[in-house]
Structure 1
Amino acid sequence: MLLYGASGHAKVIISCLRANRVPISGIFDDDLQKKDLWSIPVIGKYNPDFDNESLLIIAIGNNQIRRKIASFIQHPFGKVTHPSAIIDESVKMSAGSVIFHNVVVQADVNIGKHVIINTSSSVDHDCVLGDFVHIAPNATLCGNVQVGEGTLIGAGSIVTPNITIGKNCLIAAGSVITKHIPDFAIVRGNPARVLKITYD
């Protein structure tokens, strides 16, 4: 496996890969000062010819940066789940996505490409997570929640059942979502309210 990104988020992905006994041959990173991470060589800027048959995971938490990098990667994308995660056999998980420690993903959840389901979060039945979504630590999605592409659900947030959240939204940590959220919204509070629509 190869990674792109050699910072804190990469450490958690490395933990997941090591728990699954998956070897990591190197890490791409645009910061040429970085030489290694946990004894794994950082090999510099992306090179499509380096170990070009290996799978790659983009180890960057920011949704927009992850999407930008995915647009030029030529390696095939991998996916990884930590062994402590409880994932129903009916779950569909697309390439590039990662599921971290102590996560629960229930029946018939559909996970898009390059999604992060972070530590101890819970995604209940029939949820749909668009590409480049990030479900932050300890967030809870109740049943049949739809999350649009590029949206961040902040740490400790709760989304009640049957809610649709648009694309490229920012749900602040600790928010409680009880109503549908439009695209490009910045949302905070309990109950949550839309603070701003960004349109970018």
Structure 2
Amino acid sequence: MILFGASGHCKSVIDIAESIGVSIEIIYDDNPKVEAVCHIPVQEYSTIVLGLKGTWLISIGNNKNRKEVSERLNKNFGMLIHKTASISSWSSLGDGTVIMAKVVVNTCATIGKHCIINSGAVVEHDCIIENYAHISPNVSLAGGVTVGEGSHIGIGASVLPEIKIGKWAIIGAGAVIINDVPDGAVVVGNPGKIINKND
């Protein structure tokens, strides 16, 4: 597998790959600041490698940057699932998605492309996680929750059943979401309240 992005998130991705015996060949980055990550060489991405075949994964934590890179690269994207994760056979996962340690994805959940489901998160039955979303560590999404494209659910947040979170929203750490959240909203607190709106 080939990674794009030599950030801190890259280290977590490498750990997942090692947990299931997947070899990372090389890491590319637009502006590499290190020569290696976890002893895997990092090289600057250029037109020389445009035609490079293989399975790729974008190891960038920022949702907007991950979307931009995925559209620019136009590669064959794989996915990585940590060996300790519990994924229902009735769920579905999109290309480019990363599932970290001790995640639970329950029956009939749908997770889109290039998502991050971070350590210890619970995605309950019938949830829909749209492309480029990031579900942070120890988040709990109750049954039937929808998370829109590019939204970031902060560490330890809880979302009640059937709640709809719009696109590119930000849910603060530890927030408890009891009402639907519109596109671009920034929500914090218990109960969650909108404090800002992103463009």
Please say whether Structure 1 and Structure 2 have the same fold, judged by a TM-score greater than 0.5.
yes
- Measure, in 2, the Cα distance between the counterparts of 1:42 and 1:78: 19
What's the CA shift for 1:53? 2.2
Within 5 A, what are the aligned runs for 1:1-200?
1-47=1-47, 49=49, 52-198=52-198, 200=199
Instruction: Give the conservation status (yes or no) of the 8 Å contact 2:6–2:32.
Output: no
- Measure, in 1, the Cα distance between the counterparts of 2:151 and 2:131: 9
- Structure 1: runs of 5 or more not aligned: none
- Structure 2: runs of 5 or more not aligned: none
The total of aligned residue pairs comes to 199
- Measure, in 1, the Cα distance between the counterparts of 2:147 and 2:103: 17
Mean alpha-carbon deviation: is it higher for 32-41 or for 66-75? 32-41
Instruction: Give the conservation status (yes or no) of the 8 Å contact 2:115–2:132.
Output: yes
- Letter in structure 1 aligned against 2:175: S
Q: Deviations over 1:46-73 (max 9, x none)?
A: 5573682211111111101111111111
- Measure, in 2, the Cα distance between the counterparts of 1:189 and 1:108: 29
- Measure, in 1, the Cα distance between the counterparts of 2:82 and 2:67: 23
Distance 1:32 1:160, change over 3 A: closer
- Letter in structure 2 aligned against 1:35: E
Distance 1:164 1:33, change over 3 A: closer
- Letter in structure 2 aligned against 1:20: I
- Letter in structure 2 aligned against 1:13: V
- Letter in structure 2 aligned against 1:154: G
